Structure 1
Amino acid sequence: MTRSYDQSCPAARALDVVGGRWSLLIVRELLLGPRRYTDLVAGLPGIGPNVLAERLRELRDAGILSQAKLPPPAPSAVYELTELGASMRPVIDELTRWGMRLPASSRPGDTFRLSWVLGCLRASFRPEEAIGVRETYEFRVDGDAFHLRVDDGALDIRNGSATDPACVITTDLGTFMAVGARLVDIQDAAARGLAELEGELPAAARAIAIVGAHPEATGGRHGIVGAVGATFRPEHALGVRETYEFVIGGLVFHARVDDGTVEMGLGPAADAVTTLVTDLGTFLQLGVGSLPLEDAVSADVISVNGDLEAALRMADAFGVVRAGGPVSVH
């Protein structure tokens, strides 16, 4: 039983209801639509069955959620938010926005679910980009489907397929995140076979503009080359004069560093001191700080060809997370 703060304060009363461990995360899952008990177990790795059952009962007793029956052909009991529970959407969104400002880190044992990315999409939604837009976009990512419904500046994100999508984008998680982060243009991803697009390209472009990374996230430069250039930290490259080459899923580009300045360019570099070779998904993880360079090398998901010390200088100049331990290059 969740203990009460016994304070006559709206904030304390709210925490009496949703302040227990897992309670807000249960609400997070249900904001994407009704969920079966097994769906909640899958979306909340680490929760014990007794704790989940108790939290569901507490939230139901508080009027946050209710139980309903799905209609045939697959009748089953589901949990869904009440009007009171659904009104917590701005609270969860603001908490997500605040969390996105914290330093990115990945700890041993951390898990990852696509539904958690969807909360970030909702939190990064820009209503001004969706004024006058009324359409639905469907995404199929590694076998999971969800859709975004935009209605003149308002957004609703739900699990499952859509009945009337303006476009359907099918891809893997790495490409999905790269497109959303503006590291890869959706048209380029489709042309390179990284994504399959059904429907009109302009509709897909609108979807990315509405919920993708803000233009200032890459200094107005969208695409892998521009985004990498935007992460350059001049103060970490003073006195450095060397060229680094990147081979990312078949795309080759380079960065020429000259005493705190950088010049990005497509294609290989004849004078590269080191070359980083990896796939798009791993490269994205390096970029967002969820995968240290040394860990990627140790796991053989990335290779560094050339001067190892130069690779470490490159990582420092472009803000790639370091694990702090020794690196063994194969």
Structure 2
Amino acid sequence: MARSYDQFCPAARALDVVGGRWTLLIVRELLLGPRRYTDLAAGLPGIGPNVLAERLRAMREAGILEQTKLPPPAATSAYVLTELGEAMRPLVDELTRWGMRLGGPPRPGDTFQLNWLLNVLRAAFRPEAARGVRETYEFRVAGETFHLRVDDGALDVRHGSAPEAACVLTADLGTFMALGARIVEVADAVERGLVALEGGLPAADRAVAILGAHPEATGGRHGIIGAVGASFRPEAARGVRETYEFRIDGLVFHARVADGTVAMELGPAPAPGPDAALATGLGVLLELGAGALPLEDALIAGSIEVEGDPEAALRMADVFGVVRTSQS
């Protein structure tokens, strides 16, 4: 029998239904549209099949979700939120916004999926930037297709393609994140072959302006140097006095760390040179910073090169919030 708080209180009653482990995360997944059992299992790493089956049964009995049949060519059973379940959208969005205030870099062992980033996009959406805009934007990122529909200050994010998209952008995860962080402009990304664009460039620019980072979120710092500087963790740099050099797609800059402070400057590190240097592409840099790519995996794959003192390189990763699969 399910546990209950046994309190005649709406908040307690709600927690009786959705307060168990995994329940709200199942709702998070279904807010993006119908999902098959296998989709839910893949989107909830760590959940056991028996636990998932039990949670779905309990949520169906509570009237939060129901089963439906996907149209051809899928023609298979899937789970979808009911009207009662959809009413939890503001709750999940507010919980996401509250979680964003907790900050902090990814922890060792943390996983990352594009789905979760889509929920962040919805929670961080600024209605005032989309007044009068009625458009749909389709994105194809890292093998996933999703679309965002803006309707005069309202946003809906869903899996799958959109039949009448104002533009379609195809990119890898790192480039998608770089566009959202305003580190690279759409036109520049298209010119450099990082993005394939169908439809009008103005529509793509509107999508980034509405959904991407804004000055308040980045302290006014845009561009690669600003993004790296914004990831600096003062608490991890206490007692550290070193210089690190970054070589990102031909752009060279360095960071001078001095006991919890950092100064970012364009150009190579001054003599006698950096204590550690990292060379990689923009996409990989963004994946490292977001925790989507652990440092060790990037090294094994050869997608980054590290020079200098190995211990200084590890301190460099910690200072700038790069997740590692294991930490001493």
Task: Determine if the alignment matches structure 1 residue 126 to structure 2 residue 131.
Answer: no
Could you tell me how far 1:256 is from its partner in structure 2?
6.1
- Alpha-carbon distance in structure 2 between the residues aligned to 1:156 and 1:291: 28
Pairing 1:175–2:169 present: no
Structure-2 change in CA distance of 1:239 and 1:119 (3 Å): closer
Instruction: Spell out the pairing of 1:51-200 with structure 2 (5 A cutoff).
Output: 51-102=51-102, 103-108=104-109, 110-200=110-200
Distance 1:229 1:38, change over 3 A: closer
**Residue 278 of structure 2 aligns with which residue?**
276
Please name the residue that 2:265 is paired with. 264
In the aligned structure 2, how far is the partner of 1:44 from the partner of 1:241?
A: 40
Distance, in Å, in 1 between the alignment partners of 2:76 and 2:292 is 37
Counterpart contact for 1:65–1:85, Cα < 8 Å: yes
Contact 1:237 1:317 in 2 (8 A): no
| Matched position secondary structure for 1:66 | strand
Residues of 2 paired with 1:180 and 1:35: CA distance? 26
- How many Å apart are 1:324 and its aligned residue? 5.6
Residue in 2 that maps onto 1:328: none
Deviation at 1:47, TM superposition (A): 2.4
TM superposition shift of 1:129: 0.8
SS in 2 for 1:165: coil
Alignment TM-score, normalising by the size of structure 1: 0.84
Q: Per-residue displacement from partner, 1:100-151 (whole Å, max 9, x unpaired)?
A: 223232333x433221111111111111111111000000012210000000
CA distance in 2, matches of 1:44, 1:313: 31
User: Structure 1's 47 and 234: CA in aligned 2 closer, same or farther, altered over 3 A?
Assistant: closer
Work out the CA distance in 1 between the residues paired with 2:198 and 2:300: 38
Report the Cα offset of residue 191 of structure 1. Answer: 2.0
1:300 is displaced (CA, Å) by 5.2
Stretches of structure 1 lacking an aligned partner (at least 5 in a row): 326-330
Query: Structure 1 residue 81: deviation in Å?
Result: 1.0
Equivalent position SS for 1:208: helix
CA contact 1:277–1:302 (8 Å) conserved in 2? yes
Q: Normalised by the size of structure 2, how large is the TM-score?
A: 0.84
Counterpart residue identity of residue 251, structure 1: G
Q: In the alignment, residue 168 of structure 2 is paired with which amino acid?
A: V
Check the 8 A contact 1:137/1:167 in 2, yes or no. yes
Which moved further from structure 2: 214-223 or 316-325?
316-325
Deviation at 1:289, TM superposition (A): 5.9
Q: Shift of residue 92 of structure 1? A: 0.6
Alpha carbons of structure 1 residues 312 and 23: separation in structure 2 relative to 1, 3 Å: closer
Contact kept? 2:254, 2:268, Cα under 8 Å: no
Residues 58-79 of structure 1, C-alpha deviations (whole Å, 9 max, x = no match): 1112111122223344422222
2-structure distance, mates of 1:29, 1:23: 10
Corresponding residue of 2:305: 303
How far, CA to CA, are the matches of 1:55 and 1:256 in structure 2? Answer: 48
Contact kept, 8 Å, 1:147 with 1:160, in 2: the verdict is: yes
CA distance in 1, matches of 2:184, 2:146: 21
Assess, with a 3 A threshold, how the Cα gap between structure 1 residues 261 and 66 changes in structure 2: closer, same or farther.
closer
Which deviates the most, 154-163 or 201-210? 201-210
Per-residue deviation at 1:291? 6.5
Counterpart of 1:252 in structure 2 is 251
